[in-house]
């Protein structure tokens, strides 16, 4: 046997010997004991800008989880691209249970509309828990001098393509929600992308854009002080957070109904023990009076359930937007 052949066989044998070890350690990760996890801080990637409703909810839950799991839970804000940038980062993270992702309705929208995502919204992640469902509020600058949705629609029809709206990026709820209004009310307006709720509000207040659809928590202070005007709630029912604001359906756009939600997923292959422990801690957080009271300001409906229930919910959400895709795809591109 030549020296070169012997070296080649040696390398092949070394590779073969490492395979059972790799499989062993992967199996160990998958069968991690709840008693040993977590033993270090967790990273919660939030693909939203600081200061908005999604960030507030993520930090509220992180505080509860830290107390329950007895480890720090660090919120890592990674806004941009309607949530795509932060989500891609999470998809590439180690599947060890120590990095998790805060997801919202935009996660399901991107699964339906985006063609070249650097991850698969369903296949790249394991569902952990659905946490809350919540409405969005259509707000306008008072400089528009409109007080109702019918008045805004009339203004848009008289000025096609001349008014702007803020969104958190292509495929975000704030984007798709107003594209739905364009379709259903037969109006035209221009989308201007921002990295989340806070910069969208700043653009509204400065006059760069004239309208936006945002979470109640983000806009309630500006509505209260008269700097923004609320016209309609995105869901089929009025929001307890702003009970005086009518729904789109009540305002002349029948059938309009879109809601956001918050939940948690982990990179695909995360240990089941970690997922089950996180799911239990999130369900427990939903029962905490302080959490419920804080999210009531956002008009949120807290939800409790299993990872399997969240998986079914995610798939139903994707199916809803896939059905919508054929009707609004031209507006989205």
pLDDT at residue 213, rounded to an integer = 95
pLDDT at residue 23, rounded to an integer = 41
- Whether 159 and 211 map to the same domain: the answer is yes
Longest dimension (CA), the chain: 90
Strands (E), 98-251: 99-104, 125-134, 137-140, 164-167, 190-193, 211-214, 229-233
**Spans in the chain with pLDDT lower than 70:** 1-35, 328-333
pLDDT at residue 208, rounded to an integer = 94
> Residue 203 falls within a domain, yes or no?
yes
Spell out the residues 6+ positions from residue 42 whose beta carbon is closer than 8 angstroms to its own: 65, 69, 71, 72, 73, 74, 97, 98, 99, 100
> Residue 13 falls within a domain, yes or no?
no
- Whether 202 and 293 map to the same domain: the answer is no
CATH of the domain at 129: 3.40.190.150
CA distances from 302 to 40, 121, 254 (A): 28, 23, 26
Domain extent, residue 93, equals 42-133+260-332
**Whether the predicted model's global pTM rises above the 0.75 cut:** no
Last residue of a domain, one of 234, 251, 268: 251
Spell out the residues 6+ positions from residue 323 whose beta carbon is closer than 8 angstroms to its own: none
- Whether 213 and 179 map to the same domain: the answer is yes
Alpha-carbon Rg for the chain in angstroms:
23
The DSSP result for 265-302, as a single string, is EEETT--HHHHHHHHHHHHHHTT-HHHHHHHHTTT-EE
Spell out the residues 6+ positions from residue 280 whose beta carbon is closer than 8 angstroms to its own: none
- Whether 285 and 200 map to the same domain: the answer is no
User: From CA 55, how far away is CA 164, in angstroms rounded?
Assistant: 25
pLDDT at residue 100, rounded to an integer = 98
Return the closest-CA partner of residue 47 out of 84, 73, 92.
Answer: 84
- Structural domain count of the chain: 2
> Residue 2 falls within a domain, yes or no?
no
Could you report the per-residue pLDDT of 243-290, keeping only the tens digit for each? 999 999 999 999 998 888 999 999 999 999 999 999 999 999 999 999
- Whether 215 and 67 map to the same domain: the answer is no
> Residue 141 falls within a domain, yes or no?
yes
- Whether 271 and 126 map to the same domain: the answer is yes
Q: In what order do the strands lie in the sheet with 164-167?
A: 190-193, 164-167, 211-214, 137-140, 229-233
Last residue of a domain, one of 227, 251, 275: 251
pLDDT at residue 13, rounded to an integer = 37
Last residue of a domain, one of 251, 268, 295: 251
């Amino acid at each position: 046997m030549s020296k070169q052949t012997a070296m080649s066989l040696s390398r092949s044998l070394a590779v073969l010997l490492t395979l059972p070890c790799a499989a062993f350690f992967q199996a160990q990760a998958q069968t991690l004991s709840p008693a040993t996890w977590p033993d270090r801080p967790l990273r919660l990637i939030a693909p939203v800008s600081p200061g908005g409703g999604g960030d507030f909810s993520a930090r509220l839950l992180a505080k509860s989880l830290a107390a329950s799991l007895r480890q720090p839970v660090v919120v890592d804000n990674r806004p941009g691209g309607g949530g795509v940038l932060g989500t891609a980062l999470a998809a590439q993270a180690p599947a060890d249970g120590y990095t998790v992702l805060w997801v919202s309705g935009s996660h399901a929208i991107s699964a339906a509309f985006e063609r070249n995502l650097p991850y698969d919204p369903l296949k790249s992640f394991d569902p952990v828990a659905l946490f809350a469902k919540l409405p969005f509020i259509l707000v306008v600058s008072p400089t528009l001098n409109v007080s109702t949705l019918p008045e805004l629609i009339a203004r848009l029809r008289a000025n096609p393509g001349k008014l702007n709206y803020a969104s958190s990026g292509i495929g975000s709820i704030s984007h798709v929600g107003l594209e739905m209004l364009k379709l259903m009310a037969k109006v035209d307006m221009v989308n201007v992308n921002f990295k989340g709720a806070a910069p969208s509000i700043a653009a509204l207040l400065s006059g760069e854009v004239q309208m936006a659809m945002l979470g109640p928590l983000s806009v309630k202070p500006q509505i209260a002080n008269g700097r923004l005007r609320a016209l309609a709630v995105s869901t089929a029912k009025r929001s307890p957070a702003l009970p005086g604001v009518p729904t789109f359906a009540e305002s002349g756009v029948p059938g309009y109904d879109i809601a956001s939600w918050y939940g948690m997923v982990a990179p695909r292959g995360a240990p089941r023990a970690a997922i089950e422990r996180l799911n239990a801690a999130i369900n427990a957080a939903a029962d905490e009076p302080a959490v419920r009271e804080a999210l009531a300001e956002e008009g949120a409906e807290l939800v409790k359930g299993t990872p399997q229930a969240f998986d079914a919910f995610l798939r139903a959400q994707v199916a809803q937007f896939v059905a919508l895709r054929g009707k609004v795809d031209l507006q989205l591109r």
